[in-house]
Amino acid sequence: MTEALIVIDVQNDFCEGGALAVPGGSDVVAPINRMMEEFSTVILTQDWHPAGHSSFASSHPGRSPMEVIEFPYGPQVLWPDHCIQGSKGAEFHPDLRTDGDLIVRKGFNPAIDSYSAFFENDHATPTGLEGYLRTRGIERLTLVGLALDFCVNFSAVDAAKLGFDVTVRQDLSRAIDADGSHTAALAGMADAGVILA
């Protein structure tokens, strides 16, 4: 009971045909479903933005998706509008098993983006996931999902900083790889003590 699988953002907008498609995103669905059988605790995260979220390029006239601008909490990538609350794009991939123990929705504060399953991008506002894991006595985490270089990466690094034993399954994750973000994420996770399997 001390180990959990965390499935990060396997949603329509991050899969082929979605607003922010990650190359090969849907390829991870079937193997993640099989892997769920190996864990007594399964947690899913879901990007859940209000329309007009501040991280959307469309909220900043003259700006384009993938530009980086300064927010009060630091650099912020501007994204295409994606995973808008209640939209088809925000739904989990239709083939993904969603019968886990908990679904954590993130990114719903219109002023702060949230890559990590543990904290919003101000690195201070918690999602509540840490408390859930602690009260369940869970110490070891395996992370899979989308996208490896953003939400999986931030979640894994935060979990390691919080003292959890963290493994990221690279074969069950896919990266956006914007301007070398994939390589940088792997190095950052390794530096944080995350096991890259």
Residues identified as active-site: 9, 106, 151
The Cα–Cα gap between 90 and 68 comes to 23
Helix axis angle for 153-161 and 181-191, nearest 10°, is 10
| Burial of 179 from C-beta contacts in 10 A (0-12 / 13-18 / 19+) | exposed
Report whether 184 contacts 75 (CB < 8 A).
no
Copy the structure tokens of residue 84.
């808008």
Residue 64 CB partners (closer than 8 Å, separation 6+): 57, 78
Q: Does residue 147 have a cis bond before it (omega within 30 degrees)?
A: yes
Residue 19 CB: number of other CB atoms within 10 A? 18
